[in-house]
Amino acid sequence: MNDQPLTPDGLPAQVVIREVGLRDGLQIIPRTVLTEAKLEWVRDAYAAGERELEVGSFVPARLLPQLADTAEVLAFAKTLPGVVASVLVPNLRGAERAIAEEAHAILVPISASHAHSLANLRKAPQDVVAEIGRIRAARDAAGSRTLLEVGISTAFGCTIQGEVRAADVVDLVAAVLAAGADRVSLADTVGYADPAMVSRLFEQVLRLAGDRLDTAHFHDTRGLGLANCYAALRLGIRRFDACLGGIGGCPHAPGASGNVATEDLAYMLASMGISTGLDFDALLALRGKLARWLEGEPLHGSLWRAGLPKTMREEVAA
Amino acid sequence: MNDQPLTPDGLPAQVVIREVGLRDGLQIIPRTVLTEAKLEWVRDAYAAGERELEVGSFVPARLLPQLADTAEVLAFAKTLPGVVASVLVPNLRGAERAIAEEAHAILVPISASHAHSLANLRKAPQDVVAEIGRIRAARDAAGSRTLLEVGISTAFGCTIQGEVRAADVVDLVAAVLAAGADRVSLADTVGYADPAMVSRLFEQVLRLAGDRLDTAHFHDTRGLGLANCYAALRLGIRRFDACLGGIGGCPHAPGASGNVATEDLAYMLASMGISTGLDFDALLALRGKLARWLEGEPLHGSLWRAGLPKTMREEVAA
């Protein structure tokens, strides 16, 4: 990671915020957003400068009816120049569909917590590792260029099992890389991470995975989302998942904040002189639309209320 | 600061959270909390483990009627063994009163922003420096042991002036130390700080002031409060101002979050293995009372809704 440009403070000078609201956000919201609104969301996010979007999930429609139009949203996102559109897939079957639809990337979740894995996927982690191997083989057999990312969920703890040992996470990362993952991300699925844990775990996994660990996924369940992003940034992490309006999050903490809010993370980064390519006015306008589409669902975040500091408004005007 | 115990992550092993809700919190809330409720607040905060409390302000009652009972609250706080009770004073007159009432500490605010200083105190910063010299002389002449802390407000920017130069903050710290301040704190009065700014400014001021800079005061106006605390912690800062329920904050950002929430900061610290002596159940119970006393005022923070992670609940139960 040493060849990447840094700010004078030693932080990555350029960071990608991957918008995961259309998948991670909508996944736990039982309300269906019309496909037309989703396409408007993608179009406006693109106009606001977002270039990486997780657009949905290839799972059976009876499980997540609100994501049943993922193929349509993916097809539309792919028409926008420079977009990287990813799709979550829980298994080979979903991956085959994503490869057939030519998703730019697929994200396969695997839980570092054995208990969470059984509860969520009804599979032990080692069975998911084997499935990742099959997905890699299918991708290669198809001659596909779809990137295979594996997201290590509950990497910082689990509401069922409690503690998740860092050594288990490191072993799991080694296993999924050996099984053929192109890259891995670490996710604080339930909002248990703190900046010291983030520093320790990312350091260990970076030692093993190097550049193949490039994404952090934090929830703001207990208010530490941005502090955790900062801790990961300090280690050179350059891609962060976030949801506009901080939607999503953990179904086990109802009412609590969800994912890190895209607009707040973008503000923290911009304030530190880190380029994200995002436009605040456009982001906040889209947030307003999202509030209407999700009427009744709580949105989160701080920037929408407080606005940019005078110092940054002057910069924008200059 | 090198002789202080550290966690395995190199952070201070013990941190003091100074509860400033009774002053900074109530100051911008036009509702009067009954003296009886304030004493209950102090008593419960003490029972929850809080040992440093800013109990009010010695300013003319016509300016801040909600703080007119500061002497009574101070007198009560002083009856609790081990409490350090501080009072904000804007000038020599207030300081003389605090010295007479034997406050353990007085906090004199001085703004690093010339424009903010004129708007807020109708004095230029250099006039406040001169007043600090007079306060120090009065304290020494009285043979008093009251600690003289100077709080550098708008240290990270100003809603009126915009940018505040770090060099100006450093010069101001040098001036107030020369004028006789025992210690200084840096305050992000309007919520403009980010972790990189915090790292840079604290580093510069620590180089000048050493241990005499021991307190950070952050607002959570744009969601960066805890990230900023983490950045200051990394530099060895061991005392943080906070308000239960995240009340207070900046009158120029109505509706936005206020000070860093005591309970959320305590959670972040405890999660990182940093001792604060605070009891979460007791803090959250007091937060519930506070919500009743301030009925209609928004409280902030995340922990009250999400609760402690299972990992920490197990620790508490063990």
Q: What is the pLDDT of residue B318?
A: 47
B3 assigned to some structural domain? no
Q: Give the nearest partner residue to A267 out of B222, B255, B306, using CB atoms.
A: B222
Average pLDDT (A67-73) is 97
A130 assigned to some structural domain? yes
Yes or no, beta carbons of A272 and B197 under 8 Å apart: yes
B69 assigned to some structural domain? yes
Residues of A in contact with B246 (CB under 8 A): none
Which of B202, B218, B310, B312 is most worth mutating to test chain A (most A CB atoms within 10 A of its CB)? B310
Q: Tell the residue number behind the tokens 């993370």, with chain if given.
A: A265
**What is the domain extent for residue A129?**
16-317
Range list of β-strands (E), chain A: 16-19, 52-57, 84-88, 105-111, 147-153, 183-188, 213-218, 239-242
Answer whether residue A88 shows pLDDT above 80.
yes
Answer whether residue A109 shows pLDDT above 60.
yes
Yes or no, beta carbons of B223 and A273 under 8 Å apart: no
Domains held by chain A: number = 1
Q: Looking at the complex, does the CB of residue B71 fall below 8 Å from at least one CB of chain A?
A: no
B7 assigned to some structural domain? no
Q: Tell the residue number behind the tokens 């207990």, with chain if given.
A: A222
Yes or no, beta carbons of B11 and A253 under 8 Å apart: no
Q: What is the pLDDT of residue B156?
A: 98
Which are the contacts of B173, defined by CB distance < 8 A and separation ≥ 6? B152, B184, B205, B208, B209, B213
Shortest Cα distance from A266 to chain B (angstroms)?
A: 11
Yes or no, beta carbons of B253 and A306 under 8 Å apart: yes
pLDDT digits (tens, 9 = 90+) for B15-55: 999 999 999 999 988 888 999 999 999 999 999 999 999 99
A10 assigned to some structural domain? no
Q: Looking at the complex, does the CB of residue B298 fall below 8 Å from at least one CB of chain A?
A: no
Yes or no, beta carbons of B272 and A306 under 8 Å apart: no
Q: What is the pLDDT of residue B249?
A: 79
Which of A9, A190, A194 is most worth mutating to test chain B (most B CB atoms within 10 A of its CB)? A194
Shortest Cα distance from B227 to chain A (angstroms)?
A: 4
Q: Looking at the complex, does the CB of residue B283 fall below 8 Å from at least one CB of chain A?
A: no
* Token pair belonging to B38: 């304030």
> One digit per residue, pLDDT tens: chain B, 318 residues?
457 899 999 999 999 999 999 999 999 888 889 999 999 999 999 999 999 999 999 999 999 999 999 999 999 999 999 999 999 999 999 999 999 999 999 999 999 999 999 998 899 999 999 999 999 999 999 999 999 999 999 999 999 999 999 999 999 999 999 999 999 999 999 999 999 999 999 999 999 999 999 999 999 999 999 999 999 999 999 999 999 999 997 766 666 789 999 999 999 999 999 999 999 999 999 999 999 999 888 999 999 999 999 999 866 554
Q: Looking at the complex, does the CB of residue B257 fall below 8 Å from at least one CB of chain A?
A: yes
Name the residue type at position A216: A
Output phi, psi for B99, to 5 deg. Answer: -65, -45
Residues of A in contact with B199 (CB under 8 A): 9
pLDDT digits (tens, 9 = 90+) for A286-303: 999 999 999 888 999 999
Closest residue of B to A159, CA-based? B310
Enclosing H/E stretch for B84: strand B84-88
Output phi, psi for B162, to 5 deg. Answer: 85, -120
A vs B, Cβ pairs < 8 A, gives 139
Which of A165, A200, A311, A313 is most worth mutating to test chain B (most B CB atoms within 10 A of its CB)? A311
Average pLDDT (A214-236) is 97
Active site residue B243: no
Identify the CATH number of the domain in which residue B37 sits.
Answer: 3.20.20.70
Strand, coil or helix: A102: coil
Answer whether residue A318 shows pLDDT above 50.
no
pLDDT digits (tens, 9 = 90+) for A113-149: 999 999 988 999 999 999 999 999 999 999 999 999 9
- Percent of chain A residues past pLDDT 70, beyond the cut: 96
Answer whether residue A256 shows pLDDT above 90.
no
> Per-residue DSSP letters for B169-225?
HHHHHHHHHHTT-SEEEEEETTS---HHHHHHHHHHHHHHHGGGEEEEEEB-TTS-H
Q: What is the pLDDT of residue B81?
A: 98
Enclosing H/E stretch for B53: strand B52-57
Nearest partner of B227 among A271, A111, A94, judged by Cα: A271
Q: How far apart are CA A27 and CA A22, in angstroms?
A: 8
Residues of B in contact with A251 (CB under 8 A): none
Q: Looking at the complex, does the CB of residue A102 fall below 8 Å from at least one CB of chain B?
A: no
- Look over chain A and give the mean of its residue pLDDT values, rounded to a whole number: 95
* DSSP secondary structure code for residue A66 in this structure: G
Name the residue type at position A122: R
Yes or no, beta carbons of A7 and B220 under 8 Å apart: no
Which residues numbered 157-186 in A keep a CB inside 8 Å of some CB on B? 157-159, 162-163
A5 assigned to some structural domain? no
A4 assigned to some structural domain? no
Q: How far apart are CA B304 and CA B308, in angstroms?
A: 9
Q: What is the pLDDT of residue A272?
A: 98
Shortest Cα distance from B236 to chain A (angstroms)?
A: 14
Residues of A in contact with B165 (CB under 8 A): none
pLDDT digits (tens, 9 = 90+) for A26-45: 998 888 899 999 999 999 99
Answer whether residue A21 shows pLDDT above 90.
yes
Q: Looking at the complex, does the CB of residue A229 fall below 8 Å from at least one CB of chain B?
A: yes
Yes or no, beta carbons of A162 and B310 under 8 Å apart: yes
Shortest Cα distance from A300 to chain B (angstroms)?
A: 10
Closest residue of B to A191, CA-based? B309
B8 assigned to some structural domain? no
Q: Tell the residue number behind the tokens 């007085």, with chain if given.
A: B106
pLDDT digits (tens, 9 = 90+) for B236-288: 999 999 999 999 977 666 667 899 999 999 999 999 999 999 999 999 999 99
Distances (CA, A) of A45 to A278, B35, B80, B96: 9, 51, 55, 58
The one catalytic residue among A158, A229, A243, A250? A250
